[in-house]
Each structure stands twice: as C-alpha cells, then as structure tokens.
C-alpha cells in the first residue's frame, strides 16, 4: 500500500477508532457470554426443557452463510481479479444470514420456544437478536462501501475496505462462538 504521511495518520486514527469500537462490541458480547455461562452452570440438566427441540439446521445454515461471506470478503480485500463479484457475494450472504435468523426465530416460535419461557430461551433470543442487529448495521456499511466499489471507485480507499472488513470478520467470529455455545455444546 503506497500512502503518504497524512494518509498514514488518517489510517492509524481510523484503525484505532475501529479497534475501540470492536472492543466495546466485544465487551457487550463477552458480558452476554458470561451471563450465559452462569445460567448454564446453574442448570442441572442440559439442555433444559425450555429449549429442547431447538432447531439445529437453521443455525448451521446461518453459520455456513456467515463463514462463506467472511471468505468472500477476504477475497474481495486481497484478490486482484473478481473483486466486485466477491463483494456482491458478501452482501448476498450477509442478507441470507439475516433471512436465516428470521426463519430461526419463526422455527423457535413454532417449536414452542418463546422468549417468555424462561432465562435460557430469552438468552437465545437476546443473543440472536443482538447479533442480527449488528449484522444489519454491517450490511448497511457494506452497501455504503458498495457505493465506492461501483460508483465512486476513485474514492475507494484501503482504509474503508479494511475497517468494514474488520467489523464483518468480527461478527463472523462472534457468530461462530454463539453457534458452538448455544446450538452445538
């Protein structure tokens, strides 16, 4: 990356700002994970009756969508050819993730697992709702970045691409942890 001194300072400041933002999001999710561990350690039988019959296929499809979107964004960032295709694929997979979450909530309701059924079901909903809200915000960031990818290509900077990518990959890691802790283990 060839950047002059003023661009380098802007890059550092923006990277610090994104790092601080991601640290605050990490603390939010870490607090939720801690609460989940405390509740889970206090339950004598796992899974508790309140979440038995929880759908497994939709969370797996969500995981597949978020992992593939992270891979496609990585290729958008680092590959020389096919950048725009990988960028569009990232957005499509991000929206697919949100749709799979919507379907998960419908399946939870259909299975009789409601937010009002107790601590564990309410935590499942809280985790997935909060994460989906962050994914929705990230999709809007991707659409904002898309303006520079497709329309104002001369204003597309590595700084924009890297910072949006940090947020996108962060949400992928958070979902993988959620998937493993809530739906697998």
pLDDT tens per residue across span 64-86: 999 999 999 999 999 877 789 99
* Residue in this structure with the two tokens 């697992």, named with its chain if needed: 113
CA nearest neighbour of 145 among 167, 166, 164: 164
Q: Is 65 exposed, middle or buried (0-12, 13-18, 19+ CB in 10 A)?
A: buried
pLDDT (tens digit, 9 = 90+) per residue, 3-24? 566 666 666 677 888 899 999 9
Token readout for 118 is: 């107790």
Is the pLDDT score of 122 beyond 70? yes
DSSP 83-118: HHHHHHHHHHHHHHHHHHHHHHHHHHHHTT--GGG-
- What distance in Å separates the CA atoms of residue 33 and residue 7, rounded to the nearest whole number? 38
* Residue in this structure with the two tokens 């564990």, named with its chain if needed: 120
pLDDT on residue 1? 47
CA nearest neighbour of 72 among 83, 80, 63: 83
Domains of the chain: 55-184 (1.20.120.80)
Q: What is the pTM of this model?
A: 0.89
Give the number of other Cβ atoms within 10 Å of residue 2's Cβ.
Answer: 5
- What distance in Å separates the CA atoms of residue 167 and residue 8, rounded to the nearest whole number? 20
Find the mean pLDDT for residues 139-168.
93
Query: In the Cβ-directed half-sphere of 14, how many Cα atoms lie within 13 Å?
Result: 17
Average per-residue pLDDT in the chain?
Answer: 91
- Give buried/exposed letters for 77-102 (b at 16+ CB in 10 A, else e): beeeeebeebbbbbbebbbbbbebbe
Find the mean pLDDT for residues 82-92.
94
């Amino acid at each position: 990356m060839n950047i002059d001194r003023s661009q380098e300072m802007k890059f550092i400041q923006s990277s610090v700002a994104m790092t601080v933002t991601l640290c605050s999001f990490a603390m939010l999710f870490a607090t939720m994970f801690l609460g989940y561990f405390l509740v889970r350690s206090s339950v004598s039988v796992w899974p508790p009756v309140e979440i038995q019959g929880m759908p497994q296929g939709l969370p797996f499809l969500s995981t597949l969508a978020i992992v593939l979107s992270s891979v496609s964004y990585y290729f958008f960032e680092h590959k020389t050819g096919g950048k725009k295709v990988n960028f569009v694929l990232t957005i499509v997979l991000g929206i697919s993730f949100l749709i799979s979450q919507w379907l998960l909530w419908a399946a939870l309701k259909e299975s009789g697992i409601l937010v009002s059924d107790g601590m564990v079901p309410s935590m499942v909903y809280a985790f997935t709702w909060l994460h989906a809200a962050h994914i929705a915000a990230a999709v809007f960031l991707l659409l904002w970045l898309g303006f520079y990818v497709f329309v104002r290509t001369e204003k597309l900077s590595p700084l924009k691409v890297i910072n949006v990518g940090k947020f996108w990959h962060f949400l992928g890691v958070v979902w993988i942890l959620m998937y493993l802790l809530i739906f697998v283990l």
